[in-house]
Amino acid sequence: MRGQGPSAPGGHTPADGPGAESAWLDALAAAAYLADEHGVITAVNASAEQLLDRSAAELLGRDAHETLHRNALGQPEPRSECPVRQAALASRTAQGGELWFERGDGSVAPVAWLVTGYDDGIRRGTLALFHPLDDTERGSLQEPLSQLERLALFAELTTQLTSTMDVEEVLNRLVRLLVPRLADWAVVDLIHEAGEVRRHVVVHAEDGALKHREDLVGPMPAVPQESQFPLSRALRGAASTLAGPETYRGEPDSAIAVEQRRLFAATGIQSAVIGPIPGLRDVLGALTLGRSTCSRPFTTADLPLLEEITRRAGLALDNARLYQRQRKVSETMQRHLLPQLPRVPDLRMTARYVPAPDASQVGGDWYDAFVLPDGATVLVIGDVVGHDLDAAADMAQLRNMLRAYAFSEQKPPSKIVEWLDQSAMQLSGSDMATLVLARLSKVESLGWELTWTNAGHPPPLLVTREGETQYLTDGHGILLGTGLSAPRPDVSLLLPPGATLLLYTDGLIEEPGASLDDGLARLSREAAALSHHSLHTFTDELLARARPVANEDDIALLALRTASQP
């Protein structure tokens, strides 16, 4: 029995029972299901089970939209955009050229559909009829987009392309919006520095998913000024044009024309439009959209649409490239400001800096380590509040002043930080900052003595070689830059032989929506598990395991390990 619940339209009453409902559905030539007024499937026929590769038991009682309706890539469709649901809510009859239904194996099948409402006086619902479309019936590539569809596409392009600042992600989103909606194939060539051209994307739709042809991407030949073939002209900024295999059957005038002929042969593209991707100042590349034999050939009427697409893609790519250049400058500045670690007998030392995912977030975190004239080693970890190039500049100023005080005045860490705070406020009015300043001295026959003060920074973590962990929570004072005056304590501790000391910034433990205690517990737990590894492995693995998934901050980390014997 494939039905239960509401009675079928067409005169069947509840007295007919679910068996009668199932019987008349099975008599239909098309695949069909019934859904109640909430959109829950109450009956399916044998044709639907076969087409969807799902049994009635897998479908009954489930929401029809959530269970079946997908886009061409197999992704869930928003309820607000589902024409079947809109017709059902309005209790009207409607039909359409193409929807995608998810099958039991996870693939999606294109179907033509018709829905009509029913109301037998007792129950209300929807009857949906659908049948599979073959390539000759599918209409998504056969007819030009309507004005409404164009506006919807432009809105999606603007929203999706401008919401990322990664060039590769811009390209991935671009081709997902265009294939198979407008074309069977999409190809993107970009011009890089010094005029080098690289084919970044060759993608087509297959079984409801996008397939990348990695064998067709890579560096492209130079673009000669005299070449009159469509791709060469597009990369020089000429107007969009039509192309096909016949375009490249003649004698090629350049190596890039030979490469384009290979593309048409390998993909089976029979009709294409090729247009430049304009930037604010220069041509950024070219977009090729291709259609196969079973699709409607492109015409000159499609060129304005292509040009509007490439214009929006160019704006997004220009922004992403500018952003990545800014990020590179920020990271380079940050890394040049971070020091080389000193070599100290009986100590192993390593450091890591991981930039924030957002270029504008780079700049505030730093570490430092240096040896004083009296042989003591100074360790610093710090974080300037605010994350941008100004924060990086403030960080550099603080680091340089701290070094100057530490070298010239052989004083405890608390006194150095007190002077640093006063000077930073008077000289520059710097933003607030946190830091830990520690002095590490070798004590004969006892090992290494650590003396530190903490200005509002996360506490250092001490890990013994046996895996016991301890946060050094003593020595806390207020952060720098508040304008307040308060005593700063110093605390001393003998480090056990073979122990690891970890200084880090808050990006390693803070995660939106989670408590700081959770981050500290996670760091302690992972550090304990890694205590037997070499210091470099310990540091790399700790970053990989303890760093929050939703981390949006940069991270500085300084780790040292004492010798196994004092």
How many structural domains comprise the chain?
A: 3
pLDDT on residue 97: 61
Q: For residue 300, is it within any domain? A: yes
566: pLDDT strictly greater than 70: no
Instruction: Kindly state whether residue 139 falls inside one of the protein's structural domains.
Output: no
What CATH number is associated with residue 30?
3.30.450.20
Say yes or no: 372 and 496 in one domain. Answer: yes
167 found inside a domain? yes
Residue 13: predicted pLDDT:
33
Judge if the upstream peptide bond of residue 180 is cis by omega within 30 degrees of 0.
yes
Q: Could you give the C-alpha distances from 279 to 54, 155, 229, 546, in angstroms and in order?
A: 49, 19, 22, 41
**pLDDT exceeds cutoff 80 at 526:** yes
One domain for residues 297 and 409: no
Which of 99, 132, 165 represents a domain boundary (last residue)?
132
The beta-strand segments (E) located in 104-226 are: 108-119, 124-132, 185-191, 197-206, 209-212, 218-220
Q: Which two tokens stand for residue 181?
A: 């909606």
Q: What is the pTM of this model?
A: 0.51
Which of the listed residues 132, 164, 197 is the one where a domain comes to its end? 132
What are the tens digits of pLDDT across the range 244-260? Answer: 888 888 888 899 999 99
Q: Which amino acid is at 216?
A: L
Cα distance between residue 239 and residue 532, in whole Å = 64
Question: For the segment 298-331, what is each residue's pLDDT rounded down to a tens digit?
Answer: 888 889 999 999 999 999 999 888 877 776 766 6
Query: Is the pLDDT confidence value at 12 over 70?
Result: no
Query: Which residues form the domain of 476?
Result: 338-562
**Is position 527 within any domain?**
yes
Q: Which residue is listed with tokens 């079946």?
A: 68
Q: How far apart are the C-alpha atoms of 3 and 20, rounded to whole Å?
A: 9
- Residues recorded for the chain: 566
DSSP state at residue 295: S
- Which pLDDT score, from 0 to 100, does residue 142 have? 38
pLDDT one-digit tens code per residue, 326-373 = 767 666 665 666 678 999 999 999 999 887 765 445 557 889 999 999
Residue 417 to residue 269: CA distance in whole angstroms: 69
Of 132, 164, 186, the one marking the end of a domain is 132
Does 271 lie in the same domain as 395? no
Token code pair at residue 74: 């197999």
Whether residue 157 sits in one domain with residue 290? yes
Beta-bridge partners for 471: 461
Is the pLDDT score of 18 beyond 50?
Answer: no
| Residue given tokens 């003998």 in the structure block | 494
Q: To the nearest whole number, what is the mean pLDDT of the chain?
A: 84
Is 140 contained in some domain? no
Tokens 């179907």: give the residue.
111
Query: What is the domain-level CATH number for residue 449?
Result: 3.60.40.10
CATH of the domain at 239: 3.30.450.40
- Do 225 and 292 lie in a common domain? yes
